[in-house]
């Protein structure tokens, strides 16, 4: 007979699984198995089974479940295995050999494994231990805090075993195995910093540097948005370790041809690391065999000071479609070398319109034009946490360029100056994502004429246009054809072609925003039997639309919340007032009437909202507000629960049907 806690609660005798009955009965058994050979008071069982006030007959209910469990175990031959469910006064005791419980066997196998000292032996032990898991621990028990805490403790033990197995693989040199194992765990636990740090190192060792760095930036963003904190020491250490290793490796490869050359000016002479931590140069300076003068120590050229070529771009956006006009506009703006200046473009648009995807797509398409490196940073301008300080981003850039940590200046002004000097003669691309203001961007701009910078923001960043001649590139919502094409790319063209009218309606219900359309596609991907019309019908319910347009850690409500969080109190009130517009079209006079404010003050507020792309100025004194923005503003201004109402689990958005939840 075997008892399973690591997945659905179950008992098997021979090849037969015993029928355990309803959730509360399974929960009684689970609590007894969590404390085997220990008396469990009746009151503890009652407190665990009922999260709220238990009914008057709770004692009788528990006693009935224990009686039925005793009969079930007896019918399965429990006595032959030395199993007894006994009553001790007002407590119960499940007496049994603990090795019959999968959680106990799991713990013993993990304890035997020594991933660093004996990795070859640890791998089969840990694989066997993890093979005991058949799903989330304690599945089928009631949803009360005691069972949630117990399930969480078991899950922590599982993740520790996953990390131990990955360490064993790593010691054995099987980095791909380690990365694959950690990836699956990291997807389900995106805020577990130790796990992400281990995954980053494993990915880096397999040569997937960009993926490793992308995991860091993704996790940093989630920590800021979900918890309002910065990465901890383990995650930060892994990031800096990868940056330094990349720079060292590139510097070594760049030096190999020079070391291989039999140049009389350098042969047999010592090399030293430059003060800024970049590429080595020969000690001293003398005339070489060819009659040239060798570079003296400390007198590096601009190219030498720049160090190796970093490649920090995130991976290309998946299923990227269209935006040909905007991509061409970026090419025209950033390829202009006639001015002798470092070109700068600002990709601006509303939340969820795909600004980052457009910038990153262009950067990958034109990476070859910037052989000295591509830098990327998330400035966190629109998030629940603090925006990224320029000094923080500059430190990352300088490390990526090969500067030793101790040589990075502490002040943003000095770091900015060093950054500009290092890249002055390089052909370098800088992508600054999610900027809040022009002031945040300026210290991060390179000054070399061969460098180019792309900035993305929900604000127009008019300041950069005024002072730095930035070229604005606006992104708008997708039309019906583009939106349907995106759905087809996500779901398959056949599925979309089956119901073109529903596809068009989905584009309308999503306001043509790629983020919302991708979330809708995620709902349909999880339900392959659904037609598009079924989701469209659910989205027509405005109370549920924002909740439905969410997918785990992303969604249109979360994106809008980050924009609204940056508004002043007056502008936020104006936005809530605009949410009551019948058709979303209004002028300053109508907006002032809705807001109960004077027209001049309202006009100024409308212009600020337009700058943040929360409203759109279609023509002079003609403003529109999208339906999704209206729904969000109403939700935030009301009881905060609209869009989060749960159904009966049969539709997405119900407790059992919607993946993830509405980000709050």
Do residue 2 and residue 150 come from a single domain?
Answer: yes
Dihedral angle sign, alpha carbons of residues 391, 395, 397, 402: positive
372 phi/psi in degrees, rounded to 5: -85, 0
User: pLDDT-based confidence at 49, cuts 50/70/90?
Assistant: very high
User: pLDDT-based confidence at 533, cuts 50/70/90?
Assistant: very high
Radius of gyration for the alpha carbons in the chain, expressed in angstroms and rounded: 30
3-class secondary structure per residue, 71-92: HHHHHCCHHHHCCEEEEECCEE
Do residue 534 and residue 565 come from a single domain?
Answer: no
Do residue 140 and residue 1 come from a single domain?
Answer: yes
Who's near 180: CB < 8 A, 6+ residues apart? none
The 3-state DSSP class for residue 382 equals coil
Q: Which pLDDT belongs to residue 448? A: 84
Is residue 246 exposed (0-12), middle (13-18) or buried (19+ Cβ within 10 Å)?
Answer: buried
Q: Which pLDDT belongs to residue 384? A: 66
Do residue 7 and residue 143 come from a single domain?
Answer: yes
Rounded mean pLDDT of the chain?
Answer: 84
Beta bridge partners of 281: 272
Dihedral angle sign, alpha carbons of residues 437, 438, 443, 446: positive
Beta bridge partners of 347: 456, 473
Range of the domain at 146: 1-173
Residues 4-45 pLDDT 10s = 999 999 999 988 899 999 999 999 999 999 999 999 999 999
| pTM of structure | 0.55
Task: Summarize the confidence of residues 560-575 as an average pLDDT.
Answer: 89
Do residue 567 and residue 514 come from a single domain?
Answer: no
Is the CB of residue 287 less than 8 Å from the CB of residue 418? no
Residues 111-144 pLDDT 10s = 999 999 999 999 999 999 999 998 889 999 998 8
Task: Summarize the confidence of residues 544-565 as an average pLDDT.
Answer: 84
- What is the rounded end-to-end Cα distance, in angstroms, of the chain? 45
On whether residue 595 sits in a domain, the answer given is yes
517-526, 612-621, 631-640, range with the lowest pLDDT: 631-640
On whether residue 535 sits in a domain, the answer given is yes
Do residue 127 and residue 167 come from a single domain?
Answer: yes
User: pLDDT-based confidence at 652, cuts 50/70/90?
Assistant: very low
| pLDDT for residue 548 is more than 70 | yes
User: pLDDT-based confidence at 102, cuts 50/70/90?
Assistant: very high
Length of the chain: 664
Q: Which pLDDT belongs to residue 326? A: 93
| pLDDT for residue 245 is more than 60 | yes
Tell me the angle at which helices 588-595 and 599-611 cross, rounded to the nearest 10 degrees.
100
- Residue 194 and residue 592: Cα distance in Å, rounded? 52
On whether residue 428 sits in a domain, the answer given is yes
**Percent with pLDDT over 90 in the chain:** 53
Do residue 428 and residue 502 come from a single domain?
Answer: no
- The total domain count for the chain is 4
Tell me the angle at which helices 480-491 and 500-509 cross, rounded to the nearest 10 degrees.
110
Residues 283-327 pLDDT 10s = 333 333 333 333 333 333 333 344 458 999 998 888 888 888 999
């Amino acid at each position: 007979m075997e008892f399973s806690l690591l997945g659905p609660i179950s008992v098997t005798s021979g090849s037969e699984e015993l029928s355990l009955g309803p959730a509360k009965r399974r929960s009684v058994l689970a609590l007894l198995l969590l404390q085997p050979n220990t008396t469990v008071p009746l009151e503890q069982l009652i407190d665990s089974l009922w999260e709220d006030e238990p009914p008057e007959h709770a004692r009788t209910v528990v006693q009935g479940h224990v009686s039925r469990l005793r009969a079930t175990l007896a019918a399965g031959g429990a006595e032959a295995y030395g199993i007894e469910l006994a009553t001790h006064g007002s407590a119960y005791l499940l007496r049994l050999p603990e090795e019959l419980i999968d959680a106990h066997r799991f713990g013993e196998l993990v304890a035997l494994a020594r991933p660093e000292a004996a990795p070859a032996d640890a791998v089969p032990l840990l694989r066997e231990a993890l093979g005991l898991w058949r799903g989330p621990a304690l599945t089928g028990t009631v949803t009360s805090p005691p069972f949630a805490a117990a399930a969480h403790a078991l899950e922590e033990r599982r993740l520790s075993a996953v990390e131990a197995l990955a360490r064993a693989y790593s010691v054995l040199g099987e980095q791909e195995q380690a990365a694959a194992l950690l990836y699956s765990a990291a997807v389900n636990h995106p805020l577990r910093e130790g796990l992400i740090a281990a995954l980053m190192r494993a990915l880096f060792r397999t040569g997937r540097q960009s993926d490793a760095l992308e995991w860091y930036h993704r996790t940093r963003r989630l920590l800021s948005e979900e918890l309002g904190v910065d990465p901890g020491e383990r995650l930060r250490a892994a990031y800096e370790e990868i940056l330094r290793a990349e720079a060292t490796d590139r510097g070594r490869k760049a030096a190999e041809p020079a070391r291989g050359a039999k140049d009389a000016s350098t042969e047999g002479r010592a090399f030293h690391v430059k003060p800024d931590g970049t590429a080595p140069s020969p000690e001293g300076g003398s005339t070489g065999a060819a009659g040239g003068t060798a570079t003296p120590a400390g007198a590096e050229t601009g190219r030498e000071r720049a160090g190796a070529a970093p490649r920090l771009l995130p991976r290309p956006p998946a299923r990227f479609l269209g935006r040909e006009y905007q991509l061409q506009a970026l090419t025209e703006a950033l390829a202009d070398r006639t001015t002798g200046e470092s070109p700068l473009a600002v990709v601006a648009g509303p939340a969820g319109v795909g600004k980052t995807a457009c910038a990153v797509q262009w950067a990958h398409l034109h990476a070859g034009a910037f052989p000295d490196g591509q830098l990327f940073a998330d400035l966190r301008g629109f998030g629940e946490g603090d925006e990224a300080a320029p000094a923080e981003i500059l430190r990352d850039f300088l490390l990526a360029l090969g500067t030793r940590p101790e040589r990075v200046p502490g002040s943003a002004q000095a770091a900015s100056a060093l950054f500009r000097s290092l890249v002055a003669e390089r052909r370098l691309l800088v992508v600054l994502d999610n900027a809040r203001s022009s002031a945040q961007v300026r210290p991060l701009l390179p000054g070399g004429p061969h460098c180019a910078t792309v900035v993305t923001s929900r604000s127009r960043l008019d300041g950069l246009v005024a002072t730095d001649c930035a070229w604005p590139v606006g992104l708008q919502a997708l039309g019906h054809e583009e939106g349907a094409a995106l759905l087809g790319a996500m779901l398959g063209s056949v599925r979309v072609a089956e119901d073109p009218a529903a596809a068009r309606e989905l584009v309308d219900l999503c306001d043509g925003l790629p983020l919302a359309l991708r979330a809708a596609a995620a709902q349909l991907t999880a339900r392959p039997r659904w037609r598009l019309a079924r989701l469209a019908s659910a989205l027509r319910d405005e109370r549920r639309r924002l909740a439905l347009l969410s997918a785990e850690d992303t969604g249109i409500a979360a994106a809008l919340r980050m924009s609204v969080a940056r508004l002043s109190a007056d502008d936020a009130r104006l936005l809530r007032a605009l949410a009551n517009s019948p058709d979303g079209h209004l002028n300053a006079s109508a907006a002032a009437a809705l807001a109960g404010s004077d027209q001049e003050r309202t006009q100024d507020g409308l212009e600020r909202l337009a700058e943040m792309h929360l409203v759109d100025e279609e023509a002079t004194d003609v403003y529109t507000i999208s339906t999704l923005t209206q729904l969000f503003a109403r939700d935030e201004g009301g009881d905060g629960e609209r869009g989060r109402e749960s159904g009966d689990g049969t539709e997405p958005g119900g407790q059992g049907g919607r993946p993830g939840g509405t980000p709050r």
